[in-house]
Homo-oligomer: A and B are copies of this chain.
Amino acid sequence: MLNRVRSAVAHLVSSGGGPPPRPKSPDLPNATSAPPAAPPEAPRSPPARAGSASAAPRKIAEARASFSRPTFLQLSPGGLRRADDHAGRAVQSPPDTGRRLPWSTGYAEVINAGKSRHNEDQACCEVVYVEGRRSVSGAPREPSRGQPCWPLQKEVTHESLVVGAIENAFQLMDEQMARERRGHQVEGGCCALVVVYLLGKVYVANAGDSRAIIVRNGEIIPMSQEFTPETERQRLQLLGFLKPELLGGEFTHLEFPRRVQPKELGQRMLYRDQNMTGWAYKKIELEDLRFPLVCGEGKKARVMATIGVTRGLGDHNLRVCSSTLPIKPFLSCFPEVRVYDLTQYEHCPDDVLVLGTDGLWDVTSDCEVAATVDKVLSAYEPNDPSRYTALAQALVLGARGTPRDRGWRLPNNKLGSGDDISVFIIPLGGPGSYS
- Residues of A at the B interface (CB closer than 8 Å) are 8, 11, 16-17, 20-21, 138-140, 143-144, 147, 149-156, 159-168, 171, 238-239, 242-243, 257-259, 261, 264, 267-270, 272, 275-281, 295-297, 300, 305, 332, 334, 337
Contact = CB atoms under 8 A, between A and B. Distances in A.
B277 A160 contact: yes
The 7 A-B residue pairs whose C-beta atoms are closest, nearest first, are A163-B278, A164-B278, A275-B334, A164-B280, A153-B258, A168-B280, A164-B279
Contacts of A239: 242
Given A242-B242, A258-B153, A296-B151, A17 B268 contact: yes
A93 B171 CA distance: 56
A42 B126 CA distance: 55
A259 B151 CA distance: 9
Nearest to A263: B140
Contact of A259 (B144, B238, B261, B305): B144
Contacts of A156: 257, 270, 279
Given A144-B259, A261-B144, A297-B154, A275 B20 contact: no
A156 B165 CA distance: 41
Contacts of A278: 159-167, 337
A119 to B, nearest CB: 29
B139 A277 contact: no
A139 B267 contact: yes
B281 A16 contact: yes
A198 to B, nearest CB: 13
A154 B257 contact: yes
Given A139-B264, A150-B259, A151-B297, A277 B163 contact: yes
B151 A295 contact: yes
A144 B278 CA distance: 23
Contacts of A243: 242
Contacts of A160: 277-279
19 contacts: A16-B281, A17-B281, A21-B258, A143-B258, A144-B258, A144-B261, A147-B259, A149-B305, A151-B300, A153-B258, A156-B257, A164-B270, A164-B276, A164-B280, A165-B278, A165-B280, A167-B275, A171-B275, A275-B334
A151 B272 CA distance: 17
A16 B276 contact: no
A224 to B, nearest CB: 14
Given A21-B270, A150-B295, A258-B150, A277 B143 contact: no
Given A149-B305, A152-B297, A163-B277, 14 more contacts: A8-B280, A21-B270, A138-B267, A139-B264, A139-B268, A140-B264, A160-B279, A163-B276, A164-B277, A164-B280, A167-B278, A168-B276, A275-B332, A277-B337
B152 A281 contact: no
Nearest to A138: B268
Task: Among A159, A163, A239, find the residue whose CB has the most chain B CB atoms closer than 10 A.
Answer: A163
Given A242-B239, A278-B164, A280-B168, A269 B151 contact: no
A154 B269 CA distance: 13
Nearest to A151: B296
A145 to B, nearest CB: 9
Contacts of A238: 238
A275 to B, nearest CB: 4
Nearest to A242: B242
Contacts of A268: 16-17, 138-139
